[in-house]
Chains A and B, each alone.
Chain A
Amino acid sequence: MNLYKSFSLAVCALALAACDSDDVLDDSGNVPPASESQLPSRLFVLCEGLMGSNTANLEYLDADSSIYYANAYVNANPGTVLELGDVGNDLQYYGGKLWAVINGSNKVEVVDAATLKRKGQAEVPNGRQVAFDGGFAYVTSYAGPIVDKATGEQRGYVAKIDTATLAVVDTLHVGRQPEGIVALDGKLYVVNSGGYATPAYEQTLSVIDLAGFKREREVAVAVNMQHIRADRYGRLWVNSIGNYNDIAPTLCCYDTRSGQVETWDVPVSAMTLQGDSLYIVSSTWDVTLQRSIPASAIVNVATREVVSRNMVDAAVLDAMVPYGVAVDPRTHDIFVSDARDYVSPGLLYRFAADGTLKSKVSTGNVPGHLLFVE
């Protein structure tokens, strides 16, 4: 029975063809030998990845050699199940370690800044951003209690984490959907967005006394705020996203001493403070043109003036969806990340201090958070 024979042959061939092939870790770009002295040249990049895709990644550029260490976290921690996690939302440095808030993975990942080796994680559901003071990390989270069953109104909270043990030692409720957080002069300032309750956004900044970890008061600043930076003059720089409709995005300055609020029509997606210069990039949706308009600006925080509306080459910027910004404190080179279509791998652009393009490099998916360690 020839046919029986060929049947069995066919089955064998199929079984061979079906040998296992697993997903492969991408180990392109190995981690070089770690050394504390190299830290200042490193630009760390936290790629967000799309929600539900588990593609958050921590990578870095060696600004001196211009080598980009793609997938650096994975290469340093290849055994970590499901890698860094889902949606990187903030990246900060404290005490020799990098703290990455991984929103969709309900955790804050802590890694050694020199080796990128994993030190542990703090459990914070739906975490947003992180700030530090006196051995504690403070992380904002959306996941507070639902205070109104009818509207589903939910408070956010701030988790106080012991940086030595990574244990959450205390929590404090703030406004709805808190985002940016900063510590300044014995106080914590948290911006509340109210992002769930479109169009009833929050307009307040929560002021928290650090010593007693108690909420002091709420200060109205602007609608739907996102990031916050503190300068050395006791002022807070926050951005308002607007309402995606008739309220345009703005940059605001709140003086903690006088209580004054100033506003500029400067849209902000990301900002970084270097010396007295606030470097800003943005991508703003234009309702009439039906597309995102990229822009950049530099604000002098001492004089409170918009110094430039063309921080980097406008022709280069026009082709980007700017999503993150950092400035090398040594060379003042400006780094801007491009989220492109948010689905494809992103790009990292390097500009000279005068805004001319020097180079660009491909990164992970949605490079959102750039950080130089000083």
Chain B
Amino acid sequence: MLPLALAVSAQSMVERDSLLPTAYIVGSQRRATSPRQSLSGQQLRAFDGHSVANALRYFAGLQVKDYGGIGGMKTIDVRGMGSTHVGVFLDGMPVANEQNGQVDFARFETDGLERVELYNGHRTQLLQSAREYASGSTVYLESRRLDPHFTGSRLTLKCRTGSFGRIEPSVRWERRLAGGMTADASGGWLTAHGRYRFHIRKRFPDGRVAYDTTAVRVGGDVHALRFEANLHSAPHSRAQWDIKASAYGSERGIPAAIVNNVWSSAQRQWDATAFVQGRWQRSWSTSRSAYTLRLSAKGGVERLRYQDPDTTRMPTDRTFLQPQLSLSAVQALVVSEGDAARPRLELSFATDYACNMLRQTSRYALPPDMLQQPVRHTLMVACAAGLGWQRWRIHAVALETLTAEEAGTPSLQRRSQDFSPALHISYRPAAGVALRCFAKRHQRRPTLNELYYTETGNVRLLPERCWQINIGAEAGRSWAAGRWQFSGRADAYMEWVDDKIIAVPRGSGGWRWLMMNVGRMLGRGCDVSCRLSWQSSPRLPLLTAGGNYGFLRAEDRTDPADNDPHYGTYGGQIAFQPRHAAGVFLGAAWGGVQLHYSFTCVGERFKSSANLPSDRMAPWQTHDVALLADIPFLRGVQFGAECCNLAGRQYAIVPNYPMPGRHFSLTLKASFPFL
């Protein structure tokens, strides 16, 4: 829930310096030919102590699906394709949950991050793994590195408190070591009772209040502990490596849907996640060409225990263990550096292997065919070529995915193969202006739950097949010797999702759900964002204003026969997808003080594709403000205060999961040299 402002270049799709007419550098992030939004450095710092989900809210075309409160799950959906279509990478390695295909962004804090980026489609860097080409949209989380000019060591102590009974102390230590190495270690503890007050109110169409009641959301407590350590080294300009080790453990209540006569839930969840990942990269070059090899690996395990002790419901106590291993090798060759007369040509070849397992156990005896123990092997090979010549840049990639799965009872073997190409073209008609387009195919494989989960799983599932085309432009300009700065971007797109995996009821009478490839969607939309800043002199405040807007008409194209003008679903807006969403942010920074204001607004949604008035969910808006200030006379001590949902708006993103009203937090942070 934080602000942007300075941070706002969040939407800085086009970073200022990237608009300077410099030589075209293929592979540079700044020369990305795909639509990109990012938050980085000082800007991201404004979100310290928040989950990444809150920062992502300000990206155009992205919806955060939030179950509410401090412990509620927060997943993201980009351009209405669904949260399983988003690829997430932490320091280049996938953060993947093959069990449910979703990443809970509430678990990632912005504290330790240098940069958060969202690409529609995929990034088009030279050096990236095959898997990075495989999703409908891609989120990159990059860990914070020590500033190259910083030579000593630093210890940062922080404590945050506020609404929901939150107490969150954390510590971070970072140091530059000999031989171009840096090290950091951090840890934090979060505890919160998670309770908050909410209203449930409905009105008659004429505006009279039908009912209005106040209750307290309970059962959303969180207790979490996290540790992370990083070692990074760049011994010389052609080589670098890094290692990350991370552990996370939590216990939390799962607040269920609020329904008539039931105001609380006893469900609980325990998580434990640990992983180690590393990257090594080395380049060899001649005067005209360069070869780079990058190897990376990640190994880890994730354990989740879910318990519903409510004896009036089905007694449930299940544990899911997911060991995983990912390996990747990327080779990149710059065939020709390119100059005024000749194009720049580069090729890349990436091979990824991943092994994911799911080990399920249940406290209450279940037959073995209801506790499948699947193993999934994935091999991905991607060949990419980049061509840059004068004002043009072309990037093409071909991705082949081979999947093999085994599950024990009864003995099952599944194999699948998929070929997904993509083409990006961009053109720069003038300094500071870029036009771009891309066409991309991707598949979304069924998750292990969709395939093997007790009763609902369907081993016959095929992947969802998707196409996207996107046309866009970005521009940046500055006036009056840099005192005014503007950047903006607009993209229009179409997307098709076929064989969408949907739960279908089966059976007679007491039905069960079964996952099936029955849905189809056609999406047409646009994302627009812009930012303006002004600073007349360094002694006056830097003022920033920005906004973003996303429109998406996501049509349900599942059943052409279901076309009744009143209750038909064909052609209706898909459930829970707003047509309009927008955000505005304002910021001021002066000396050591920053003030941020932000506004988010999401239009009406419907609970079913029939779009009936009775299924309508009201639009909602929130206002957030935040203050960050260096404390005078106390070097290295910073104070932060913020208020989210200033107007106390009552709303729900997921029906029957009320969101908190106005809530606060206070942060005190102190940094000093240590060791």
Contacts and interface: CB of A to CB of B under 8 A. Distances in A.
A269 B509 contact: yes
Interface in A282-310: 282-285, 290, 292
Interface string B597-639: 1010100000111101111111101010000000000000000
A362 B567 contact: yes
Contacts of A22: 201-203, 618, 650
Given A22-B203, A24-B202, A345-B567, A121 B261 contact: yes
Nearest to A78: B210
B178 interface: no
A159 interface: no
B511 to A, nearest CB: 8
Given A7-B543, A196-B314, A267-B508, A319 B262 contact: no
B455 interface: yes
A82 B205 contact: no
Given A26-B613, A146-B311, A3 B508 contact: no
Interface string B71-95: 0000000000000000000000000
Interface stretch (B47-55, B102-110, B361-369): B361-369
B534 interface: yes
Interface string B532-573: 001000000001010000000000000001101011010000
A17 B549 CA distance: 15
A319 B561 contact: yes
B506 A339 contact: no
Given A152-B364, A345-B608, A23 B618 contact: yes
Contact of B211 (A79, A107, A269, A341): A79
Nearest to A121: B261
B599 A53 contact: no
Contacts of A84: 260
Given A11-B597, A285-B507, A18 B623 contact: yes
Contact of B505 (A107, A198, A342): A342
A290 B516 contact: yes
Contacts of B455: 198, 244
Nearest to A150: B365
A71 B614 contact: yes
A17 B580 CA distance: 14
Nearest to A20: B649
B509 A105 contact: no
A108 to B, nearest CB: 11
A319 B317 CA distance: 39
A28 B616 CA distance: 14
Given A54-B259, A79-B211, A17 B508 contact: no
A239 interface: yes
B621 A18 contact: yes
A365 B205 CA distance: 21
Contacts of A35: none
A339 B612 CA distance: 16
A347 B311 contact: no
B203 A25 contact: yes
Given A105-B259, A106-B262, A53 B656 contact: yes
B658 to A, nearest CB: 11
B621 A78 contact: no
Interface in A1-57: 3, 7, 10-11, 14-15, 17-18, 20-28, 52-55
Interface in A106-131: 106-107, 121, 125-126
A244 B365 contact: no
A241 B507 contact: yes
Contact of B507 (A14, A152, A200, A244): A244
Interface in A223-274: 224, 226-227, 239, 241-242, 244, 249, 267-270
Contacts of A23: 201-203, 616-618
B25 interface: no
Interface string A142-166: 1101100011101000000000000
Interface string B257-283: 111111000000000000000000000
A244 B512 contact: yes
Contacts of B575: 343
Contacts of B616: 23-24
Q: Is the interface of B mostly helix, strand, loop or mixed?
A: loop
Contacts of B597: 11
Contacts of B656: 52-54
A25 B509 contact: no
B321 interface: no
Contacts of A3: 534, 543
Interface string B437-462: 00000000000000000010000100
A80 interface: yes
A10 B262 contact: no
B200 interface: yes
Interface range, A side: 35 or more
Contact of A21 (B364, B586, B609, B618): B618
Nearest to B657: A52
A102 interface: yes
A365 B655 CA distance: 15
A14 B623 contact: yes
Contacts of B569: 341, 344
B262 A86 contact: yes
Interface string A68-89: 0011000000111111111000
Contacts of A192: none
Contacts of A17: 601, 621
Nearest to A21: B618
Contacts of B315: 146, 152, 154, 196
A24 B566 contact: no
B584 interface: yes
Contacts of B460: 290
Contact of B567 (A195, A227, A284, A344): A344
Nearest to A196: B314
A178 interface: no
Interface string A207-237: 0000000000000000010110000000000
A79 B204 CA distance: 10
Given A52-B256, A341-B569, A154 B311 contact: yes
Contacts of A145: 311
B168 to A, nearest CB: 29
Given A18-B601, A52-B259, A362-B567, A126 B204 contact: no
A53 B257 contact: yes
B541 to A, nearest CB: 10
B504 interface: yes
B213 interface: yes
Contact of B607 (A53, A285, A290, A340): A53
A242 B205 CA distance: 46
B510 A195 contact: yes
Contacts of A85: 259-261
Contacts of A179: 510
B260 A83 contact: yes
B647 interface: yes
28 contacts: A7-B545, A11-B586, A17-B601, A23-B203, A23-B617, A27-B205, A53-B655, A79-B211, A80-B211, A82-B258, A82-B261, A105-B260, A106-B262, A106-B312, A126-B313, A142-B314, A143-B313, A150-B365, A152-B363, A224-B510, A227-B509, A282-B508, A283-B507, A284-B507, A292-B506, A319-B561, A345-B612, A345-B614
What 5 A-B pairs are tightest by C-beta distance, nearest first?
A152-B364, A85-B260, A285-B506, A125-B312, A86-B259
Interface of A: 3, 7, 10-11, 14-15, 17-18, 20-28, 52-55, 70-71, 78-86, 102, 104-107, 121, 125-126, 142-143, 145-146, 150-152, 154, 179, 193, 195-196, 198-200, 224, 226-227, 239, 241-242, 244, 249, 267-270, 282-285, 290, 292, 319, 321, 339-345, 347, 362, 364-365
Given A10-B586, A82-B259, A341-B569, 18 more contacts: A10-B584, A21-B619, A24-B613, A24-B616, A25-B205, A78-B211, A107-B261, A196-B314, A224-B510, A244-B506, A283-B508, A285-B508, A292-B504, A340-B562, A343-B575, A343-B609, A344-B567, A364-B614
